[in-house]
Structure 1
Amino acid sequence: MKKIFLLFIATSFLNANSQTLEEKIAKKACSCLQKSKEINEEIYRNCLTNSMSEVVLNDKDAKVREGINTVEGIKSLLQKSDATIGKTCPDLVPKTAESKSDIYYSDSKNKEAQNSYQVAKGFMRNKNYKSSIENLQIALKQDPDFVLALDDIAVCYRQLEDYDNAIKYYKKSLDIYPEGEYALMNIGVAYTLKSDFKSAIEYYEKLIHYQPDNAEGYFGAGKSYFAINDDEKALTDIFIAHRIYTADKSDYTKDTEMLMGVIYQKMVKENKEAIFKKIAAENNITIE
Structure 2
Amino acid sequence: MKQAITLILCLFTVLNYAQVEQRLDKIKKVSEQACECIAKIDLDKSKKEKSKDIKTCIQSASMGYQIENSLLGSLEKAMDSIKKDGISKSDTIAVTSDRNIVINVSENYEEIEEYLYDNCPALKAIYFTDNTESENSKSDKKKALKYYEKGQSAFANQNYVEAVVQFSKAVKKDKKFAFAWDNLGYSYRKLDNYKQAIKCYQESLEIDPKGKMPLMNIAVAYQLNNDLKNAIQAYKNYRDIYENDPEGFYGLGHIYYLQKDFEPALVNMIKAYRLYTEMNSPYNIDAQKHIGFIYQEMKQLDKLEDFNRITKENNLDVNFEE
Q: Which residue number in structure 1 is paired with residue 250 of structure 2?
A: 219
Question: Over the residues paired in the alignment, what is the CA RMSD in angstroms?
Answer: 1.9
1:252 aligns with one of 277, 283, 307? 283
Q: Which residue number in structure 2 is paired with residue 149 of structure 1?
A: 180
Aligned length: 194
Superposition deviation, residue 104 in structure 1: 4.1
Q: Which residue number in structure 1 is paired with residue 292 of structure 2?
A: 261
CA distance in 2, matches of 1:277, 1:225: 18
CA distance in 1, matches of 2:282, 2:159: 30
| Higher RCO (CA < 8 A, seq sep 6+) | 2
Give CA-to-partner distance per residue, 1:42-67, whole Å, 9 cap, x none.
xxxxxxxxxxxxxxxxxxxxxxxxx3
Larger Rg: 2
Are the equivalent residues in 1 in contact too, given 2:178–2:207 (CA < 8 A)? Answer: yes
CA distance in 1, matches of 2:295, 2:240: 27
Does residue 116 in structure 1 map to residue 111 in structure 2? no
Are the equivalent residues in 1 in contact too, given 2:4–2:316 (CA < 8 A)? Answer: no
Are the equivalent residues in 2 in contact too, given 1:224–1:234 (CA < 8 A)? Answer: yes
Superposition deviation, residue 70 in structure 1: 8.4
Give CA-to-partner distance per residue, 1:191-218, whole Å, 9 cap, x none.
1212222211111110111000000110
Q: Which residue number in structure 2 is paired with residue 170 of structure 1?
A: 201
Q: Which residue number in structure 2 is paired with residue 6 of structure 1?
A: none
CA distance in 2, matches of 1:236, 1:119: 43
Structure 1, unmatched stretches of 5+, are 1-66, 72-100
Q: Which residue number in structure 1 is paired with residue 273 of structure 2?
A: 242
Superposition deviation, residue 146 in structure 1: 0.5
Superposition deviation, residue 102 in structure 1: 2.8
The 1:69–1:251 alpha-carbon spacing in structure 2 relative to 1, beyond 3 Å, is: closer
Q: Which residue number in structure 1 is paired with residue 314 of structure 2?
A: 283
Superposition deviation, residue 220 in structure 1: 0.6
Does residue 160 in structure 1 map to residue 191 in structure 2? yes
Give CA-to-partner distance per residue, 1:106-146, whole Å, 9 cap, x none.
42111111111111111111111111111111111111011
Deviates more, 1:213-222 or 1:178-187: 178-187
Q: Which residue number in structure 1 is paired with residue 66 of structure 2?
A: none
Amino acid at match of 1:245: Y
Please list every run of at least 4 consecutive aligned residues from structure 1 whose deviation after the TM superposition is greater than 4 angstroms. Answer: 68-71
Give CA-to-partner distance per residue, 1:59-117, whole Å, 9 cap, x none.
xxxxxxxx37989xxxxxxxxxxxxxxxxxxxxxxxxxxxxx53246421111111111
Identity of paired residues, percent?
35
CA distance in 1, matches of 2:228, 2:134: 31
Structure 2, unmatched stretches of 5+, are 6-131
The 1:145–1:287 alpha-carbon spacing in structure 2 relative to 1, beyond 3 Å, is: same
Are the equivalent residues in 2 in contact too, given 1:113–1:139 (CA < 8 A)? Answer: yes
Are the equivalent residues in 2 in contact too, given 1:197–1:228 (CA < 8 A)? Answer: no
TM-score, structure 1 as length reference: 0.64
CA distance in 2, matches of 1:140, 1:211: 27
Q: Which residue number in structure 1 is paired with residue 169 of structure 2?
A: 138
Amino acid at match of 1:219: Y
The 1:126–1:110 alpha-carbon spacing in structure 2 relative to 1, beyond 3 Å, is: same
TM-score, structure 2 as length reference: 0.58
Q: Which residue number in structure 1 is paired with residue 241 of structure 2?
A: 210
Are the equivalent residues in 2 in contact too, given 1:106–1:148 (CA < 8 A)? Answer: yes
Q: Which residue number in structure 1 is paired with residue 217 of structure 2?
A: 186
2:263 aligns with one of 221, 232, 241? 232
Give CA-to-partner distance per residue, 1:138-187, whole Å, 9 cap, x none.
11111101100000000110000111111111111111111111111111
Q: Which residue number in structure 2 is paired with residue 27 of structure 1?
A: none
CA distance in 2, matches of 1:216, 1:285: 19
CA distance in 2, matches of 1:236, 1:105: 36
For residue 134 of structure 2, give the secondary structure of its aligned residue in structure 1: helix
CA distance in 1, matches of 2:272, 2:235: 12
For residue 220 of structure 2, give the secondary structure of its aligned residue in structure 1: helix
